[in-house]
Amino acid sequence: MQLILVATLLCLALGSCSASISGPFILWGNPRVSGLQPQALVDSNSRELPLTQLFTEAKAIVVFIRNSTSRLEGTKYPKFQNLVKSAAWTYLPQRRLAAEPFGLNANIEVVSLSGHGEEDDAEILTVYNDALNTYGRGEVLGILGSREEEAHFLAKREATSAPEEEEKPKAPEEKPKTEASGFIYVAEGNKAALTLNGPLELRLTNETLKLEEHIKQITFDDQRAKGYGRLSITFMHSGEKCTLRFKFSLIRGSWTLRNVEVEYKELKSVLVARGDEYTLPSAPLGFSYRCSAENTHFLNPSRNETIQSLVLTDFQVQPWLSGRKEYGEVYDCIGFVSAPILAGLFVVTLLLGILGLGISAMLSMHTPNRFESSRSKQSGRAMFVQITYVAFKPLALFTLAIELFLIHLLFVLIVLYVYVLWYY
């Protein structure tokens, strides 16, 4: 009867949990798990065999799946903490297991936890003790993981309002350059967020690391009183931790991303963002920054260091998110010059040209040096001819023609300028 109940629970669990389980993992109960962690941190070819042997030799496996992505605290799970300490156990920090137990053991029970600390604590203890009564102590392998969370690899979404809730993808919004899919990192409490279209690239002297898998605990050190804040993200690459701390400075109500601190193995470096005050990622407080036009590079001032640079591709970032569920209004990296501005500058240039030609024409005019008097009436006709000749010099006629042409062209450009502003 008990075996039928276990099979029923297994079918229900597998039917509701089609996605793979995600890490980090806690394994306990079987004596072989004590030596599992050192072997799991070697190359990928040597990881699968110890896990496969463990899953095959265990008489029963109980898999507990948490819906929460928050940190597991012993004070909220005292019964589970005592259960783990009473037997052999190990902790695997990676996101995925090299080999999953499904299909390797006939006696697998999958239990989906509700997310409430006291209820989950009691359920883990009850289900695991039932399995011990059936198969014996030391023969039951317990695995605690989390439900696979695909929101990190979907399009732009809302930051979750509470760490205990399962993250869901956000519906697309009519915002510029926020629809690209990519990797999303949200600090605990929705204090800061970073979205990238591609993985981070950490360039070393001899290789380039693509940082994709990360530990779900992302923090933001809010030091607003001191004028800075740091967004910390820890990645896993080939079993090694790589921690990035993006430092934002806060001056006169605007934040700027200036550098990033990198820790990889025993290496530590501070990479400085390439650019000046006008090209560095920055925005007023409460606004986000978005750049899809070009990559952002963080370079090492010391060229002899092993860690050379970090590259961000098509990203959006906002520190001091203050618990909001979405990014603020976007500041982007598009240059100052645009089509309406170019049209306006061209019109101003034409106006200045017309003004210059007019001033030149006025300066080219000369007053006659002879005037009609009672003594020189006979020379009046000659004076009229001279004045007429001066007024209609070829240069003056050419200047007048150019001014008329430019005035008509100015009218056409004004109409085009209004058209561009209206429709674009």
* pLDDT of res. 370: 63
- Who contacts 217 (Cβ-Cβ below 8 Å, separation ≥6)? 71, 188, 234
Find residue 388's DSSP bridge partners. none
Q: Each residue of 365-375: pLDDT tens digit?
A: 777 666 656 65
- Who contacts 369 (Cβ-Cβ below 8 Å, separation ≥6)? none
Q: Within this chain, do residues 300 and 163 fall inside the same structural domain, yes or no? A: yes
pLDDT at 412 over 70: yes
Q: Within this chain, do residues 120 and 174 fall inside the same structural domain, yes or no? A: no
Q: Each residue of 70-116: pLDDT tens digit?
A: 667 767 788 888 888 887 888 777 777 777 888 788 888 888 887 77
* Domain final position from 307, 332, 357: 332
What mean pLDDT is predicted for residues 195-216?
87
* Domain final position from 128, 148, 168: 148
Q: Within this chain, do residues 181 and 296 fall inside the same structural domain, yes or no? A: yes
Q: Within this chain, do residues 174 and 277 fall inside the same structural domain, yes or no? A: yes
Q: Within this chain, do residues 160 and 132 fall inside the same structural domain, yes or no? A: no
Q: Within this chain, do residues 196 and 144 fall inside the same structural domain, yes or no? A: no
pLDDT at 349 over 80: yes
Mean pLDDT estimate for the chain:
75
* pLDDT of res. 52: 83
Q: Are 288 and 331 in contact (CB under 8 A)?
A: yes
Q: Closest Cα to residue 281, out of 263, 295, 264? A: 295
- pLDDT bin (cut points 50, 70, 90) of residue 118 is confident
One DSSP character per residue, 246-270 reads: EEEEEETTEEEEEEEEEEETTEEEE
Q: Closest Cα to residue 219, out of 314, 319, 298? A: 319
The CATH number for 180's domain is: 2.40.160.110
Q: Which residue reads 């008097």 in tokens?
A: 373
Q: What are phi and psi of 244, to 5 degrees?
A: -115, 130
Q: Each residue of 22-39: pLDDT tens digit?
A: 778 888 888 888 777 544
* Domain final position from 85, 115, 148: 148
Q: Within this chain, do residues 356 and 227 fall inside the same structural domain, yes or no? A: no
Q: Within this chain, do residues 183 and 250 fall inside the same structural domain, yes or no? A: yes
pLDDT at 179 over 80: no
- Who contacts 15 (Cβ-Cβ below 8 Å, separation ≥6)? none
The percent of residues in the chain predicted with pLDDT above 90, rounded, is: 15
Q: Each residue of 131-144: pLDDT tens digit?
A: 888 888 888 988 88
- pLDDT bin (cut points 50, 70, 90) of residue 335 is low
Which structural domain range is residue 316 located in?
A: 151-332
* pLDDT of res. 10: 44
Per the structure, the count of domains in the chain is 3
